[in-house]
Amino acid sequence: MAFDSRDPYDAAALYDMWLNCSRCPTTFDFEPGGDINLDYYHRIGQQARREHWAVLPASSQGGELVFNILCPDCATRLGVQGFEGRLDGAEPIIDQICEAMLKAS
Ligand SMILES: [Zn+2]
């Protein structure tokens, strides 16, 4: 499995650089080091999924893509399930970042 820009977890890891809970100070505990590339974000995204972080894509008022991210504790407290759907491809910003990273690597 490689980075998938339609996977909300991969996309959130790439877009937000790292995952911070939007409701509490918890930060996703990822392993630093290694090359920063799409594989790296894929690894973070899938680890967050396994650890039951909730990643909820939403559009802000300006139409900008935002992710509401909840740590496992907050997700449980709020009764939120992880988002298991797919991004619908209407997020060109993610593809743009992917392309830029591929060119840079
Ligand atoms: Zn939290």
Buried b (16+ CB within 10 A) or exposed e, 11-28: bbbbbbeebebebeebeb
Distance 73 CA to ligand 1 centre (A): 6
pLDDT at 50: 92
Residue 61 CA to ligand 1 center (angstroms) comes to: 24
Q: How far is the CA of 22 from the centre of ligand 1 (A)?
A: 7
Which pair of tokens denotes residue 34? Answer: 């290694």
User: In this structure, what DSSP letter does residue 47 have?
Assistant: H
Confidence class of residue 3 from pLDDT cuts 50, 70 and 90?
very high
Give 32 Cα–ligand 1 centroid separation in angstroms: 21
- Would the pLDDT of 10 be above 80? yes
Query: Could you tell me the distance, in angstroms and rounded to a whole number, from the CA of residue 64 to the centre of ligand 1?
Result: 23
| Calpha distance 68→82 (Å, rounded) | 11
Q: pLDDT category, 93, cuts 50, 70, 90?
A: confident
Ligand 1 centre from 75 Cα, in Å? 7
Q: Give me the residues paired with residue 65 across strands.
A: 59
Please choose, from the candidates 60, 66, 80, the residue with its C-alpha nearest in 3D space to the C-alpha of residue 15. 66
